[in-house]
Amino acid sequence: MQIHEEARKFSYQTGVRVVVAYGGAPITQQLRDLERGVDILVATPGRLVDLLERARVSLQSIRYLALDEADRMLDMGFEPQVRRIVEQMDMPPRGVRQTLLFSATFPGEIQRMASDFLENYIFLAVGRVGSSTELIAQRVEFVQEADKRSHLMDLLHAQRDSSEQGKQALTLVFVETKRGADSLENWLCTNGFPATSIHGDRNQQEREYALRSFKSGQTPILVATDVAARGLDIPHVAHVVNFDLPNDIDDYVHRIGRTGRAGKSGIATAFFNDNNSSMAKSLADLMQESNQEVPAWLTRYAARPSYGGGGGRNRRGAVGGSRFGGRDFRRESSSFGKGGGASDYAGGSSYGGGGYGGAGAPSAWD
Q: What is the pLDDT of residues 263-283, one digit of tens each?
A: 788 999 999 999 999 999 999
Secondary structure class of 311 (helix, strand, coil)? coil
Secondary structure class of 104 (helix, strand, coil)? coil
Cβ 250 vs Cβ 181: under 8 Å: no
Structural domains of the chain ordered from first start: 2-117 (3.40.50.300), 136-308 (3.40.50.300)
pLDDT tens-digit readout, 58-71? 999 999 999 888 77
User: Percentage of the chain surpassing pLDDT 70?
Assistant: 79
pLDDT tens-digit readout, 166-214? 688 999 999 999 999 999 999 999 999 999 999 988 888 898 899 999 9
Decide if pLDDT at 247 tops 60: yes
Cβ 331 vs Cβ 353: under 8 Å: no
Higher pLDDT, 347 or 261: 261
Tell me if the pTM is above 0.75.
no
Higher pLDDT, 151 or 201: 151
Among 13-22, 33-42, 53-62, 338-347, the minimum mean pLDDT is found in 338-347
Of 9, 65, 28, nearest to 233 (Cα)? Answer: 9
Decide if pLDDT at 56 tops 80: yes
**pLDDT (average), residues 119-134:** 72
Of 41, 39, 62, 40, nearest to 51 (Cα)? Answer: 41
**pLDDT (average), residues 151-180:** 90
pLDDT tens-digit readout, 129-143? 555 667 899 999 999
Q: Predicted confidence band at 325 (pLDDT cuts at 50, 70, 90)?
A: low
Report the alpha-carbon distance of residue 268 to residue 263 in Å, rounded. Answer: 15
Dihedral sign from CA coordinates of 13, 15, 21, 27: positive
CA separation, residue 29 to residues 52, 57, 295 (Å): 16, 14, 53
Burial 149-161 (b: 16+ CB within 10 A, else e): bebbeebbeebbe
CA 77 to chain centre: 16
